[in-house]
Amino acid sequence: AGILRAFGDNSSITWLAELAVHSHLQRNGVGSILMKEFLKSYSHTAIYAEVMAGQEEFFSRFDISRKSSLVACSRAAVLRRS
């Protein structure tokens, strides 16, 4: 149905790494349920999330919003040959 992955120190910072809901179940509240449970467990920490373009509105419902002082940086995977 859906998955939410997060990493953190359970003290000050939590990084929401992934929130995904099967396409057939989207817009049925699955993502909201996952977010509410996540926030219950980690509301005592600052929460950071990398959000795909166009999904900001969903996260803003949970007070996770764009911050002009943060920049996402990444590197492509290097494929290993065996």
Question: In percent, how much of the chain has pLDDT > 90?
Answer: 79
Residue 6 has pLDDT above 90, yes or no: yes
pLDDT tens per residue, range 18-44 = 999 999 999 999 999 999 999 999 999
Give pLDDT, residue 32: 97
Give pLDDT, residue 37: 97
Distance of CA 41 to CAs 3, 24, 32, Å? 15, 27, 14
Q: Which two tokens stand for residue 2?
A: 């859906």
Residue 46 has pLDDT above 90, yes or no: yes
Residue 71 has pLDDT above 90, yes or no: no
